[in-house]
Amino acid sequence: MLHNPITSLETLAVHAGIGEFNYRPVVPPIYQTSTFSFESASDGAALFADEKHGYIYTRMGNPTVDALEQCVTQLEGGHKALTCGSGMAAIHTTLAALLQIGDHVVCSDAVYGPTTTLIQTILGPLGIESTFVDTSNLDAVRRAIRPNTKVVYVETPGNPTLVITDIEEVCKLAHECEALVVVDNTFMSPILQQPMRFGADVVVHSMTKFLNGHADVIAGVIIVKNQTRYEQFRKVLNQLGGVLGPFEAFLVHRGIKTLALRMDRHTKNAMIVAKFLVNHPAVEWVRYPGLKSHPQYEVGRKQMLGAGGLISFGLKGELVAGREMMNALRLCTLAVSLGGVETLIQHPATMTHASMGREARIQAHITDGLVRLSVGIENVDEIIADLAQALSKATQPAPMAKIVVQKADPQTQGVHNAVL
């Protein structure tokens, strides 16, 4: 832990969570061990009784993992963090810790597809009720909250529509009813958004994305605000078992050292790419939090320090043209995931959000023509050149065909059917 008054996120990203290791290493070493020996039988008993600090077994704690947890805690401005084997493990652990049979969760309708599926198909049959609403609409949130609502779960900006939820206002509504607010901060990273500053009780991340930043690790984290919550979550994570291994923790911690630099470049590149797409004749609509045309642009300015690296857009030729374009790309890689140094592109309706079903996708405005771009840190002229050559192969709207797609209206975020 840094004890001196360093408050800048850039410095914290480089120095936070160095830990206290033998020989004073500058970088936390990898404790690649599943278990730790006890000095004596009474030492082991004392460790199990929580009478002294130390390590027992890596599922219950590991120095390399602790160092990363300290780092992320400081970046998010929380009390403590618990790392998990994936973002989904972090979300599952959080919801399992906070919800019991008969409880109700209100969830943003535009969230990562498997989050919807987890709540509906795994937690639902266990007796946990859920309502999915557009959490950018505060009246909709107010109407959805019930006496048994224990959690309001928000992803902002939402995956993949980039809809922005006002964290502060949702926290006020939820806290009036004694519900907790969980924010998935994956798309922003703590460099661009710190939800706890606006009242969030729990923050989760898929560290697979921007925090690690190099597309080589699957990891998640939960950040909590106080010791009581930490103890509660720690017990649940320890029993569910979805912990992070020391090598992955080392890699994510290494990735975080360049997080501030990377977020700056992602944001600058994405702004230039978004403007390029807006002006391209083959593009029908573009959604990017940095554009004034974004429906929640002002909310974004209040709570985000930058617009981030994700853009969603649709082509005039809808899904057919989108597929042609994605197949023609050479530099931008056709792959799911996001937040890595390389530019990735994917089609949510048939990929990341296929599992949630068409009806839920339509409610969340995840139209069939929506293409999601995670802008990397490459030379932006080369990203644009690649998009331009691929778009030139899909500039014509598709001829009349007998398929019906959902068409987004970028002004209202409404959806209507269009026959191609």
- Active-site positions? 59, 112, 184, 209
* Site for ligand LCS contains 184 (CB under 6 A): yes
- Taking CB under 6 A as the binding criterion, the range among 54-62, 136-144, 308-316, 335-343 that sits at the site for ligand LCS is 335-343
- Taking CB under 6 A as the binding criterion, the range among 10-18, 65-73, 180-188, 259-267 that sits at the site for ligand LCS is 180-188
Write down the H helix ranges in 49-162: 63-76, 87-98, 113-117, 138-144
Q: Whose Cβ is closer to ligand LCS: residue 111's or residue 171's?
A: 111
Q: Whose Cβ is closer to ligand LCS: residue 47's or residue 202's?
A: 202
- List phi, psi (to 5°) of 39: -65, -35
* Site for ligand LCS contains 117 (CB under 6 A): no
Cis link prior to 125 (omega < 30° from 0)? no
Alpha-carbon span 222 to 91, nearest angstrom: 8
* Site for ligand LCS contains 122 (CB under 6 A): no
* Site for ligand LCS contains 87 (CB under 6 A): yes
Residues 6+ apart with CB under 8 A from 11: none
* Site for ligand LCS contains 220 (CB under 6 A): yes
Alpha-carbon span 264 to 247, nearest angstrom: 27
Alpha-carbon span 15 to 419, nearest angstrom: 55
Q: What is the DSSP string of 211-229?
A: TT-SS----EEEEESSHHH
Q: How many residues does the chain have?
A: 420
* Site for ligand LCS contains 337 (CB under 6 A): yes
3-state DSSP assignment of residue 370: strand
CA distances from 240 to 41, 336, 361 (A): 27, 27, 30
- Taking CB under 6 A as the binding criterion, the range among 246-254, 259-267, 333-341, 391-399 that sits at the site for ligand LCS is 333-341
**Partners of residue 84 on adjacent β-strands:** 220, 243
* Site for ligand LCS contains 340 (CB under 6 A): no
First to last CA, the chain: 58
Q: Whose Cβ is closer to ligand LCS: residue 208's or residue 343's?
A: 208
CA-closest candidate to residue 158, choices 377, 390, 370: 370
Q: Whose Cβ is closer to ligand LCS: residue 186's or residue 280's?
A: 186
- In the block, tokens 């009581």 appear at 228
Among 112, 198, 210, 285, binds ligand LCS (CB under 6 A): 112
Among 206, 269, 303, 406, binds ligand LCS (CB under 6 A): 206
Q: Binding string to ligand LCS for residues 146 to 165, with x set by CB under 6 A, is what? A: ---------x---x------
**Whole-number minimum distance, CB 187 to ligand LCS, in Å?**
6
Interface with ligand LCS (CB under 6 A), residue total 17
Q: Whose Cβ is closer to ligand LCS: residue 63's or residue 193's?
A: 193
Alpha-carbon span 53 to 245, nearest angstrom: 20
Considering only residues 351-380, where is the footprint of ligand LCS by CB under 6 A?
352
The residues that touch ligand LCS, with contacts defined as CB under 6 A, are: 86-88, 112, 155, 159, 184, 186-187, 206, 208, 218, 220, 336-338, 352
